[in-house]
């Protein structure tokens, strides 16, 4: 089926209390792993690209692979631009065929974040492109966005209601205590903030910083309204470990396709486990 935006898949997920996995791809091999994992499990899925990955390969090249791999998939696939603060890149991706974008103006003061996020919605909606917007500051490093622990702060539930009413995002990313990268110690999730924000905004919530959360934390966040779960760091690890691990075990063998095959298997295995855990298997 042709690529679609996130609207229908997230509405169904929010209504049925499961979450759609949004997996950050890096290249052709990782994109293929996401699509095949979703097809095998009959799950809707989101292929997510960081702004850095788009810049690295070029939007046209990347979209060529994604369309080839996902445009004929047997399950609904959305192609989403992750954390982007650059309006020009958002426009470029929309023109190149992305079906969904995230505007991350969360580092700006509330009114500026709101105005910029609204501007992206107004630009995207007539083209049937969905928009995710962020409020609060999620700790860690995502792409070139660095948020130090002392600068991170949770989304304010009252501001969240105003933000969503005026921006009208299709998906909302409030900072609720999760972090980008690898967790040091036990993550402190503000479940009360998540619950309040999900119930009062009635917008599907995106859970950022998914890598490293326990199954229990995932289940609880999804039950409280997270309809999209972002997985990035885990794929980076599988990408490197799958590749390096195979070579270390077969260090006299120089057969690149076997190494790439092992890398593929490692990524796909993790993605399939995520899809099962998030409850989206069998939902397509
Ligand atoms: Zn994120």
Q: pLDDT 10s per residue in the chain (284 long)?
A: 889 999 999 999 999 999 999 999 999 999 999 999 999 999 999 999 999 999 999 999 999 999 999 998 999 999 999 999 999 999 999 999 999 999 999 999 999 999 999 999 999 999 999 999 999 988 777 776 677 776 678 989 999 999 999 999 999 999 999 989 888 888 889 999 999 999 999 999 999 998 889 999 999 999 999 999 999 999 999 999 999 999 999 999 999 999 999 999 999 999 999 999 999 999 99
Evaluate whether 148 touches 139 at the Cβ level (below 8 Å): yes
Task: Name the token pair of 271.
Answer: 């993605």
Task: Name the token pair of 3.
Answer: 């690529």
Residue of 16, 27, 82, 265 with catalytic role: 82
Task: Name the token pair of 218.
Answer: 């995932």
241 Cα–ligand 1 center, Å: 22
Which one-letter DSSP state was computed for residue 139? B
Evaluate whether 20 touches 45 at the Cβ level (below 8 Å): yes
Rounded distance, CA 223 to CA 277, Å?
Answer: 12
Rounded distance, CA 252 to CA 265, Å?
Answer: 21
- Which residues keep their CB under 5 angstroms from ion ligand 1? 142, 208
């Amino acid at each position: 089926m042709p690529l679609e935006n996130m609207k229908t898949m997230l509405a169904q997920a929010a209504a049925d209390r499961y979450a759609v996995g949004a997996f950050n791809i890096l290249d052709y091999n990782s994109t293929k792993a996401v699509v095949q994992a979703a097809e095998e499990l009959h799950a809707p899925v989101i292929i997510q690209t960081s702004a850095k990955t788009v810049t690295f390969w070029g939007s046209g090249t990347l979209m060529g692979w994604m369309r080839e791999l996902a445009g004929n998939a047997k399950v609904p696939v959305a192609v989403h631009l992750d954390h982007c603060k650059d309006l020009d890149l958002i426009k470029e991706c929309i023109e190149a065929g992305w079906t969904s974008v995230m505007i991350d103006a969360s580092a700006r003061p509330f009114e500026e974040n709101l105005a910029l996020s609204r501007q992206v919605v107004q630009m995207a909606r007539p083209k049937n492109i969905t928009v995710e917007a962020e409020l609060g500051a999620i700790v860690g490093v995502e792409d070139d966005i660095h948020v130090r622990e002392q600068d991170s702060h949770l989304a304010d539930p009252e501001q969240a209601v105003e933000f969503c009413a005026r921006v009208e995002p299709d998906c909302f990313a409030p900072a609720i205590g999760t972090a980008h990268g690898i967790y040091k110690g036990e993550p402190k999730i503000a479940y009360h903030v998540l619950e309040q924000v999900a119930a009062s905004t009635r917008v599907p919530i995106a859970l950022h910083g998914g890598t490293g959360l326990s199954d229990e934390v995932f289940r609880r966040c999804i039950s409280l309204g997270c309809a999209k779960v972002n997985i990035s760091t885990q794929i980076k690890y599988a990408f490197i470990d799958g590749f390096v691990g195979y070579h270390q075990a077969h260090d006299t063998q120089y057969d690149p396709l076997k190494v790439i095959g092992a890398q593929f298997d490692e990524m796909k295995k993790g993605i399939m486990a995520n899809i099962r855990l998030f409850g989206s298997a069998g939902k397509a």
